[in-house]
A and B are shown apart, each in its own frame.
Chain A
């Protein structure tokens, strides 16, 4: 697998349901970030979780990080049609200097 690989590739749910997306990575990280991208637009930063943190919340978003399994999950609760977008995880490596790697994303469809 690549660094920062999301699963599933696509997810379709009904409005009001919860959506869970997962991200796996290969090498040691400083932090992991989640971004949202609406169709034809730029990415919007959602949340950053550092390697010494296990869980963070922001509104309807909950992010967990398990460094022993090299994985993270993004949970969106009570989803809305407006949550329809692609979601990307990005890992900042612990190598020093610049290196942030974006995954291929999960496409979320929330049906009204």
Chain B
């Protein structure tokens, strides 16, 4: 079945450490997104990519970095510059970008600080 796979499900970060969250899709979608969700809140956009080798900052990109070297993969690195990284991170994809098509989501990675 086609879908989006996020790994790991749970991740712990030590002080000063960078950690990378994986996101893989086999839906052949061009657009991919990373969102951050804090308890009881909506989704905030971190980064998005409309096509391979291209990505743009979202509303809360500071302290995060991404790459899009392959169509099916869009990893997110949470750097040590992100001082409050504890959150639920969701990856999504859509056929094209622009909000005109539904987004398909993975089951998230929960990141906590040790």
A binding-site residues for B, Cβ under 8 Å:
4, 30-31, 33, 40-45, 48, 88, 90-93, 97-100, 102-105
Q: What 1/0 mask marks residues of chain B from 82 to 114 whose CB sits below 8 Å from any chain A CB?
A: 000000001010000111101111111010000
Interface size band for B: 20 to 34
10 smallest A-B Cβ distances: which pairs? A92-B99, A42-B105, A100-B99, A45-B102, A102-B43, A102-B42, A104-B42, A43-B105, A42-B107, A98-B97
B90 in contact with A43 (CB, 8 Å): yes
A-chain residues with CB within 8 Å of residue B104 when the two chains form the complex: 45
Which residue on chain B has the smallest CB distance to residue A107? B40
Assuming A40-B108, A102-B42, what are 15 further A-B pairs, CB within 8 angstroms? Answer: A4-B42, A31-B99, A33-B102, A42-B107, A43-B43, A43-B105, A88-B42, A90-B103, A91-B99, A92-B98, A92-B99, A92-B100, A97-B98, A102-B35, A103-B42
B binding-site residues for A, Cβ under 8 Å:
4, 6, 31, 35, 40-43, 48, 50, 56, 90, 92, 97-100, 102-108, 110
Which residue on chain B has the smallest CB distance to residue A91? B99
B-chain residues with CB within 8 Å of residue A99 when the two chains form the complex: 99
Interface of A is mostly: strand
B-chain residues with CB within 8 Å of residue A30 when the two chains form the complex: 99-100
Q: How far is the CA of A42 from the CA of B6 in the complex (A)?
A: 10
**Contact A98:B107 (CB < 8 A) given known A42-B90, A104-B41:** no
Q: How far is the CA of A99 from the CA of B58 in the complex (A)?
A: 9
Among B35, B40, B43, B99, point to the contact of A93 (Cβ < 8 A): B99
Q: How far is the CA of A93 from the CA of B98 in the complex (A)?
A: 9
A100 in contact with B103 (CB, 8 Å): yes
B102 in contact with A42 (CB, 8 Å): no
A44 in contact with B99 (CB, 8 Å): no
